[in-house]
Structure 1
């Protein structure tokens, strides 16, 4: 039988791609967002209203991806804390009142702050800012509702993700490095790094992240917490060089402006004790960089 998923933040970067993915896998997809045309209109600034809402359609899974991102948390901390923490509690209440049995919370590896060594699901989070702390507090609410209310919950902590936005015109996540570098290369003909760029980052395709979620919810009681890391860990410097190569294949030369500096040893490895039992991410970032640079170049010409 066709399963139904309700995705909050459906007009956001992750949410838009997730809606595409789950629809492609045969799920009935319902969208929750601020947009008046959404299947469920929600406003995380008014969490009590979300908790009280009712939906007439039977829903099998709620993916809660609506949240204040790192920039908003830095610029509007008090509002962001309310959205991330109270908003998640309201989403959990909504699930209880609407008999939605499974709940996935999209958290972040930033709950670890400045991690060291091997970082898996057994490591103790130590957030260093409102973004990481509010996500960790939201995670605690998921665990609380699982213990006390019988909800089946899954907390997912992805690494840095990439993917072509479902709606480029409405994309508000240009601070994400893969997106920012591609746009800077296409529009400015250069990529400027503020540091030597030797810091390492792990990258996961949003489609791989969605596939991991879909697989994990089928055995949700076994995996209440899941780190989702991609197959590649590269430096910011190397990412810029790969964008330069993607542009070269499109027939354009771009300049890389990168301060000199000595390479630093890797500080941590982001990994999972359980992911290989659930799903093996395989999408490489190079294909995304080529496709996205091509798309942005075509859009620039057509303007």
Structure 2
């Protein structure tokens, strides 16, 4: 299968490109920026088109001959807050533009990297039937991108899938990966640099986490899944890890992984007076729909924490 991947040199996209190529697929990456110098060759030497998804002229013809499109390029949560108009241009219009180009090129299947942020709900039970009421600029603009896929679902010449991921984590393939503001990677970098992890709150808020490997597995599943019925707009699938963790538990996992390497865990610094903060409600991020297609989270967050610390060159004491 020839597969176009937007954002294929990014944090998750690079892992996906490596995995698809290992499975024997032919991959073309559409990316605004070239591959980072430290990306491994199994990603960096892929066919690359310098493309801005919101400027269709930059990728004219790039999707010709492709069987599938995986649209992972996006403006993330922090940048979207700083530049909401830019986020609408990239996450909203850019998604519509690249999907329209895929339809015009005869691409048969399209997969969209969406997010649990479209729900605007972070605790309790979340299913695909939970109302989408985003409150962040990131969630709002990613939901706008979903709209392009729902519109495409009414056509008969493309098979769209929306994957609403929870919080992905895995060892990056490049130091330039846009991941260091995320919970697990930021904890790992702090531990690697200082031997300490500083929490800015009590850290009792709960989130669902999954590994980057499980994210890639979900993409592979929907690339091979039976086609939706023509006109069927029930195309969104939650993809989670199946475990609710507090930020404090995530920090502890990284601290313990640090201890496996250095002999003693990283220290965790809490704001004064928060040591005995009560537990907050858990999140139950349901993914039964994609489980019926064969998805089952198999990754280990503790293993990824250890791998991230090693990537950051944490070494045993001498």
Alignment TM-score > 0.5, same fold = yes
Offset from partner CA, 1:158-196 (integer Å, 9 cap, x none): 11001121222x212201111110010010111000111
The Cα RMSD (Å) is: 2.1
Structure 1, unmatched stretches of 5+, are: none
Match of 1:273 among 288, 295, 306: 288
Match of 2:48 among 39, 46, 64: 39
Return 214-223 or 158-167, whichever deviates more: 214-223
Offset from partner CA, 1:88-133 (integer Å, 9 cap, x none): 0111111012111111110100011134531111111110021101
Shift of 1:54: 0.7
Q: CA separation in 2, counterparts of 1:220 and 1:105?
A: 17
Matches within 5 A, 1:35-74: 35=33, 39-44=48-53, 46-50=54-58, 53-55=60-62, 58-74=65-81
What secondary structure, in the 3-state scheme, does the structure 2 residue paired with 1:39 have? Answer: strand
The corresponding residue for 1:82 is: 89
The corresponding residue for 1:183 is: 189
The corresponding residue for 1:20 is: 18
Which structure features the higher share of helix residues? 1
Offset from partner CA, 1:52-87 (integer Å, 9 cap, x none): 711375211100011100000011111111111110
Return 109-118 or 239-248, whichever deviates more: 109-118
Offset from partner CA, 1:269-302 (integer Å, 9 cap, x none): 111231221211111100011121122125999x
Matches within 5 A, 1:158-169: 158-168=165-175
Is the contact between residue 171 and residue 305 of structure 2 (CA under 8 Å) also seen in structure 1? Answer: no
- The normalised TM-score by structure 1 is 0.91
Q: CA separation in 2, counterparts of 1:36 and 1:295?
A: 21
**In the superposition, relative to structure 1, how do residues 245 and 115 fare at CA in structure 2: closer, same or farther (>3 Å)?**
closer
Q: CA separation in 1, counterparts of 2:244 and 2:71?
A: 27
Following superposition, which runs of at least 4 residues in structure 1 exceed 4 angstroms of deviation?
A: 298-301
**In the superposition, relative to structure 1, how do residues 294 and 115 fare at CA in structure 2: closer, same or farther (>3 Å)?**
closer
Is the contact between residue 111 and residue 127 of structure 1 (CA under 8 Å) also seen in structure 2? Answer: yes
Structure 2, unmatched stretches of 5+, are: 36-46, 229-233
Is the contact between residue 206 and residue 280 of structure 2 (CA under 8 Å) also seen in structure 1? Answer: no
Matches within 5 A, 1:250-269: 250-253=261-264, 254-259=266-271, 260=274, 261-269=276-284
Is the contact between residue 153 and residue 220 of structure 1 (CA under 8 Å) also seen in structure 2? Answer: no
Matches within 5 A, 1:75-114: 75-114=82-121
